[in-house]
Amino acid sequence: MDKMIIQGGERLIGEIQIGGAKNAALPLFMASLLTEEPVHLHNVPALRDVDTVEKLLTNMDITVKRGGRDAEVQAKALDTIEAPYDLVRTMRASVLVMGPLLARAHEAKVSLPGGCAIGTRPINLHLDGFAALGAEIDLEHGYVHARAGKLRGTTIDLPIPTVTGTENLMMAAALAEGVTVIENAAREPEVVELGNFINQMGGRISGLGTKTLIIEGVNALHGAEYTIMPDRVEAATYMVAAGMTRGNLLLKGARPEHLKAVIDKLMEAGMEIKAENGGLRCLLIGPIKSVDAKTLPYPGFPTDVQAQLMAMMSFANGLSVISESVFENRFMHVSELKRMGADIQVEGHSAIIRGKESLSGAPVMATDLRASASLVLAGLAAHGTTEISRIYHLDRGYERMDEKLRAVGAKIERVKS
Ligand code: EPU
């Protein structure tokens, strides 16, 4: 298993190209199952989760051709309708195969994802939505088995604006008979991206980016060509890296309109951030000021940037309180940051961080994707050597992170162990 070794204390200066968004790429691959025609995707990020989705689809005898940042997916027939435990276990987003399978093959058998490092993360709202569209759902031997005739449009009022839940239901409803209305839908840019993609395939979805989605089912969808949006969480992570190392980075491709809550928070913490040449210029000159934050569904402060902000606040001038309201257990990075000397106390859904002038490098362990990113950030800013094990978590969602950081001056090495 690879490790990352970081010698902290270098200012990061230069340019980083932001890659295609993981959480947009995954549903777009799945939505390609909604048509028998070929679908062409561009700006596909080189990530482990994308490799997993490729495995999942090829396992179902679907043709996936990848070359560089391009991919072609063609699901001529959908004879295999199963997402096995081995793949769902490594990537929860595998459950996104259910919506398209139900819509086109009228049947899906998907392993239940179970718990994960950031909480129990049930899929009950996905299943309730499928049932409302007319599917019959059985749970057997650890699998969800869903069967339906032609799905029928209906109104689904989500109690929580679940991101993948909204995406799964939107894909199912795209080929349903009649109109589906999803109330309290997720408004994340990745959900909008999926809706735009389905519309390019001939779908009829309106209300994207609002709480009410209206999906007029169509009989069939056709092939499409689509360029995946830049990853806003990758961008946010490198924004924090610029701040924590008192660096100066131009994040090429980062879209300010997707990052408003993060930009506002980091500017409150003392950073200068402005749009420049189709990207974002991010720097910090003075001290890191302490800020409070609460994670919320989009357009609120993203839970996927909570760990990174906490790493930054560990170096701030003063006390900050960060509350996690999206997931019930997303503080796995706290104990590792504390091993580096951070002063953090968790009380219920909040963490109280007393900033310190510096942390000291230490051996730490990555536990989930964003927690791992926070450890890399802490390592970049700490004194001495930080050794991060289990970095396969990082490779799930950050493309060549070590190379990108090295190119802007970080002392970071990947070693086989
Ligand atoms: N929830 C339920 N029942 C459901 C679905 C969700 O109770 O059926 C709860 C969850 O347990 C959680 C809350 O609703 O407490 C919100 O979860 P959501 O369903 O929105 O999360 P998700 O769709 O599983 C996506 C991203 C996550 C990101 C969250 C929140 C993808 C593939 N994943 O997960 O990304 O944190 O939305 O924005 O889009 C990551 O990239 O590191 C990552 C974890």
Give one DSSP letter per residue of 92-135, joined into a string: GGGGGGHHHHHHHHSEEEEE----BTTB----HHHHHHHHHTT-
Residue 369 alpha carbon, nearest atom of ligand 1: 42
Q: Where are the beta strands (DSSP E) in 211-258?
A: 213-216, 225-227, 248-252
**Placement of tokens 């001056």 in the chain:** 409
pLDDT at site 116: 65
116 is catalytic: yes
The C-alpha atoms of residue 95 and residue 126 are separated, in whole angstroms, by: 9
Report the separation in Å between the CA atom of 317 and the middle of ligand 1, taken as the mean of its atom positions: 32
How many residues can be counted in the chain?
417
Report the separation in Å between the CA atom of 324 and the middle of ligand 1, taken as the mean of its atom positions: 13
Report the separation in Å between the CA atom of 239 and the middle of ligand 1, taken as the mean of its atom positions: 23
Question: Of 13, 112, 116, 352, which residue is the catalytic one?
Answer: 116
The C-alpha atoms of residue 185 and residue 163 are separated, in whole angstroms, by: 8
Q: What is the signed CA dihedral for 395, 397, 403, 405, rounded to 10 degrees?
A: -130
Q: Where are the beta strands (DSSP E) in 184-307?
A: 204-206, 213-216, 225-227, 248-252, 271-276, 279-284, 293-294
* Whether residue 397 has its Cβ less than 6 Å from ligand 1: yes
* Whether residue 106 has its Cβ less than 6 Å from ligand 1: no
pLDDT at site 417: 73
pLDDT at site 268: 98
Hey, which residues does 250 pair with through a beta bridge? Answer: 15, 281
Indicate the pTM of the whole model: 0.98
For the sheet with 350-354, list strands across it: 293-294, 319-323, 350-354, 343-347
Q: Is 337 helix (H, G, I), strand (E, B) or coil?
A: helix
Q: Closest Cα to atom 9, ligand 1: which residue?
A: 121
Nearest residue to 13 (alpha-carbon basis) of 362, 306, 285, 278: 285
* Average confidence (pLDDT) per 10 residues, the chain, 417 residues: 95 98 98 98 97 96 97 96 92 96 97 73 94 96 94 98 98 98 98 98 98 98 98 98 98 98 98 96 97 98 98 98 94 96 97 97 93 97 96 94 98 92
* Whether residue 396 has its Cβ less than 6 Å from ligand 1: no
Residue 96 alpha carbon, nearest atom of ligand 1: 32
pLDDT at site 336: 97
pLDDT at site 366: 84
User: What are the respective helix, strand and coil percentages of the chain, to the nearest 5?
Assistant: 35, 30, 35
Give Cα 78 to chain centroid, integer Å.
Answer: 27
pLDDT at site 125: 97
Report the separation in Å between the CA atom of 164 and the middle of ligand 1, taken as the mean of its atom positions: 6
| Distances from the Cα of 221 to the Cα of 36, 202, 302, angstroms | 8, 5, 32
The C-alpha atoms of residue 67 and residue 16 are separated, in whole angstroms, by: 22
Write the DSSP symbol of residue 211.
S
